[in-house]
């Protein structure tokens, strides 16, 4: 493979302290600690670096180190066994117990941070990672400002990383933005969406804009429609408390699917700079044709998984899951058609669907080109149209379906798949999304984070859909392990198309 061209900031960030609010929680254990450990082992974190866990539980430094030890043993790709890097990593870790909205406790944290930075002889650079219940985000930001831990930088700097959900509707998202922006400047706020850290999501722009063949075709003249599927095999997995209040529209569509859609549809940015890219994404969101609340019930398919079977095992229905109300109307599946009213996409439907307890785990963007003209080989309109699949996960890669002549003396034509798989091509593991995002936040690069106006534009589109659907009677059910309700097929088939995914061989 020839030499790579670097497209974003690289290298090790300068010294800093990472403070994890919600340090005893599930995300810290499953995602943050393993990601930090991998970065540390690969020499991507500075030598003068510390992690401070902050939570309400009485853990103490040793208790938190034990939690970290377990998290690495259970969730890290490489555990490092007892090697030097694991020992050194553990020595970077401290714990501070406290409440999230109590000024005295946050002041104690400030004192501890000062002691740590003097001990390490580093500037007061702080990355505050807010992995707490959503209602704690605003109070923490306010308390940090009150004790002057919100210094804008550049030297020293302090930044906030905010986990989703960011608000539960447009009004609450706007309120949260306002509160955060009273204490922190926009460039200090990193609203995280882990989809943006996925390798293939980042590759979307490279594919589109570093290859001259695609851009001329990337419009309503050559593209018939676009499909975005995010299917999970998992069910609600013990998160009913959160999920019952969210549902697929808030949990997946407002954030992950809106990012995939805007990256696939945006105009080329004027520069590879965070704001230039995000400006174009926001324009797409603002060009989405509103689905008024009164139309949502007819245009949007929502459903719940019922009892069924997955991989030969029987699976419970959503209503039978622990913590789910027996008359819950929270959707675990949603499918709908989005239209982008701008010059590039006028008339091109974007069909989106996402669901839990589907037969396979797959996230894919399918670009379906128009059919060849109905002359010559396609005189009877029988040839399948070309189709470009951008496989976000798993088996990350890109595949293009073309028509080829089958060898022989007849004139038989059949579809052929040109298939690029990351694992085959690069023989190198893909980083976890959190590794990429933590590193970018430490470097101060906001490109892969959601800007205030972006989060609001996504809510402005999704909120009326939620308002139009919520609490409107029981939902259709689909058997666990199936592709959703019949209505989701009808949504696309009634328009002469069908849901399609590329069948890729396992790498
Ligand atoms: C999270 C949602 O943001 O994304 C989960 O809260 C969902 O419900 C998850 O399962 C999907 O992420 P991934 O990376 O497995 O596609």
Please tell me the distance from the alpha carbon of residue 424 to that of residue 409, in angstroms, as a whole number.
Answer: 34
Residue nearest to atom 14 of ligand 1 (CA): 195
Q: Positive or negative CA dihedral for 237, 239, 241, 244?
A: negative
CA of 195 to the centre of ligand 1 (A): 9
Q: Tell me what pLDDT residue 505 has.
A: 61
| Burial zone of 108 (CB within 10 Å; 0-12 exposed, 13-18 middle, 19+ buried) | middle
CA of 60 to the centre of ligand 1 (A): 31
The segment(s) of the chain belonging to CATH 3.30.360.10 are 196-493
CA of 253 to the centre of ligand 1 (A): 11
> Partners of 314 in the beta sheet?
309
Residue nearest to atom 5 of ligand 1 (CA): 251
| Burial zone of 212 (CB within 10 Å; 0-12 exposed, 13-18 middle, 19+ buried) | exposed
Please tell me the distance from the alpha carbon of residue 433 to that of residue 424, in angstroms, as a whole number.
Answer: 20
CA distance readout (Å), 279 to 205, 262, 449:
14, 11, 13
CA of 193 to the centre of ligand 1 (A): 10
| Burial zone of 158 (CB within 10 Å; 0-12 exposed, 13-18 middle, 19+ buried) | buried
Residue nearest to atom 8 of ligand 1 (CA): 251
CA of 251 to the centre of ligand 1 (A): 8
Nearest to 133 by CA among 179, 176, 164, 173: 164
Per DSSP, 186 falls in state G
Residue nearest to atom 4 of ligand 1 (CA): 252
256 classed as catalytic: yes
Spell out the SS3 assignment of 425-486.
HHCCCCCCHHHHHHHHHHHCCCCCCECHHHHHHHHHHHHHHHHHHCCCCCCCEEECCCCCCH
From the CA of 243, give the closest atom in ligand 1. Answer: 8
> Partners of 474 in the beta sheet?
none
In 221-356, alpha helices (H): 240-248, 258-265, 274-287, 293-299
pLDDT in tens, the chain (507 residues): 456 665 556 678 999 999 999 999 999 999 999 999 999 988 999 989 999 999 999 999 999 999 998 999 899 887 656 677 788 899 999 999 999 999 999 999 999 999 999 999 999 999 999 999 999 999 999 999 999 999 998 999 999 999 999 999 999 999 999 999 999 999 999 999 999 999 899 899 999 999 999 999 999 999 999 999 999 999 999 899 999 999 999 999 999 999 999 999 999 999 999 999 999 999 999 999 999 988 888 889 999 999 999 988 999 999 999 999 999 999 999 999 999 999 999 999 999 999 999 999 999 999 999 999 988 888 888 899 999 999 999 989 999 999 999 999 988 899 999 999 988 899 888 889 999 999 999 999 999 999 999 999 999 999 999 999 988 888 999 999 999 999 999 999 999 999 999 876 655
> Partners of 288 in the beta sheet?
340
From the CA of 193, give the closest atom in ligand 1. Answer: 3
CATH superfamily of 196-493: Dihydrodipicolinate Reductase; domain 2 (3.30.360.10)
Q: Please count the other Cβ atoms lying within 10 Å of the Cβ belonging to residue 442.
A: 24
User: Best of 251, 330, 458 to mutate for ligand 1, by most ligand atoms within 8 A of CB?
Assistant: 251
Strands 349-355 and 333-339: antiparallel
CA-angle at 294, arms to 290 and 298, nearest 5°: 90
From the CA of 433, give the closest atom in ligand 1. Answer: 14
From the CA of 198, give the closest atom in ligand 1. Answer: 14
Q: Tell me what pLDDT residue 4 has.
A: 65
Q: Tell me what pLDDT residue 208 has.
A: 93
Nearest to 277 by CA among 268, 286, 285: 268
Which region, left, alpha or beta, applies to residue 327 given φ > 0 means left and ψ of -120 to 50 means alpha? alpha
CA of 32 to the centre of ligand 1 (A): 15
CA distance readout (Å), 96 to 66, 108, 179, 261, 334:
15, 9, 25, 40, 41
Please tell me the distance from the alpha carbon of residue 20 to that of residue 31, in angstroms, as a whole number.
Answer: 12
Q: Which of 38, 194, 225, 256 is catalytic?
A: 256
Q: Tell me what pLDDT residue 1 has.
A: 47
Can you tell me which residue has the tokens 């690495």?
A: 72
The segment(s) of the chain belonging to CATH 3.40.50.720 are 16-163
CA distance readout (Å), 483 to 194, 221, 487, 501:
24, 31, 11, 12
CATH number of 16-163: 3.40.50.720
User: Best of 234, 256, 431 to mutate for ligand 1, by most ligand atoms within 8 A of CB?
Assistant: 256
Residue nearest to atom 9 of ligand 1 (CA): 252
Ligand 1: list residues with CB < 6 Å. 194, 232, 234, 251, 363
From the CA of 356, give the closest atom in ligand 1. Answer: 10
């Amino acid at each position: 493979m020839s030499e790579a061209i670097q497209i974003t900031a690289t290298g090790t960030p300068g010294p800093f302290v990472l403070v994890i609010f919600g340090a005893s929680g599930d995300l810290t254990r499953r995602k943050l600690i393993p990601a930090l450990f991998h970065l540390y082992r690969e020499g991507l974190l500075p030598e003068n670096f510390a992690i401070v866990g902050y939570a309400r539980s009485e853990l103490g430094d040793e208790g938190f180190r034990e939690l970290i030890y377990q998290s690495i043993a259970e969730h890290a790709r490489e555990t490092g066994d007892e090697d030097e890097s694991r020992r050194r990593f553990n020595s970077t870790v401290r714990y501070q117990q406290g409440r999230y909205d109590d000024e005295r406790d946050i002041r104690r944290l400030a004192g501890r941070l000062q002691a740590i930075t003097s001990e390490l002889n580093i500037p007061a650079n702080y990355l505050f990672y807010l992995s707490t219940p959503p209602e704690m985000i605003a109070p923490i930001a306010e308390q940090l400002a009150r004790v002057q831990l919100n210094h804008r930088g550049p030297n020293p700097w302090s930044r906030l990383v905010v986990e989703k959900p960011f608000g539960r509707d447009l009004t609450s998202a706007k309120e949260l933005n306002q509160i955060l922006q009273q204490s922190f400047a926009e460039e200090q706020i990193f609203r995280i969406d882990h989809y943006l850290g996925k390798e293939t999501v980042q590759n979307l722009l490279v594919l589109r804009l570093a290859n001259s063949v695609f851009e001329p075709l990337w419009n309503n003249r050559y593209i018939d429609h676009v499909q975005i599927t995010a299917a999970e095999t998992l069910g609600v997995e013990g998160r009913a408390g959160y999920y019952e209040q969210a549902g697929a529209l808030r949990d997946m569509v407002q954030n992950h699917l809106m990012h995939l859609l805007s990256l696939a549809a945006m105009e080329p940015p004027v520069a590879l700079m965070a704001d230039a890219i995000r400006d174009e994404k926001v324009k797409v969101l603002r060009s989405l044709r509103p689905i008024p609340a009164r139309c949502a019930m007819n245009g949007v398919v929502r459903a719940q998984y019922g009892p069924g079977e997955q991989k030969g095992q029987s699976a419970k229905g959503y209503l039978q899951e622990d913590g789910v109300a027996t008359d819950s109307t929270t959707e675990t599946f949603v499918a709908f058609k989005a239209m982008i009213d701008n010059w590039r996409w006028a008339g091109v439907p974007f069909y989106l669907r996402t669901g839990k307890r589907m037969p396979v785990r797959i996230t894919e963007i399918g670009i379906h080109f128009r059919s060849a003209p109905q002359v010559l080989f396609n005189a009877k309109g029988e040839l399948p149209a070309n189709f470009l699949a951008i496989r976000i996960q798993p088996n990350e890669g890109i595949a293009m379906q073309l028509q080829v002549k089958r060898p022989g003396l007849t004139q038989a034509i059949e579809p052929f798949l040109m298939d690029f798989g990351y694992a085959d091509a690069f023989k190198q593991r893909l980083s976890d999304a959190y590794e990429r995002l933590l590193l970018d936040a430490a470097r101060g690069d906001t490109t892969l984070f959601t800007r205030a106006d972006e989060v609001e534009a996504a809510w402005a589109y999704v909120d009326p859909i939620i308002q139009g659907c919520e609490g409107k009677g029981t939902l259709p059910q689909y058997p666990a392990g199936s592709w959703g309700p019949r209505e989701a097929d009808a949504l696309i088939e009634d328009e002469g198309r069908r849901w399609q995914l590329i069948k890729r061989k396992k790498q």
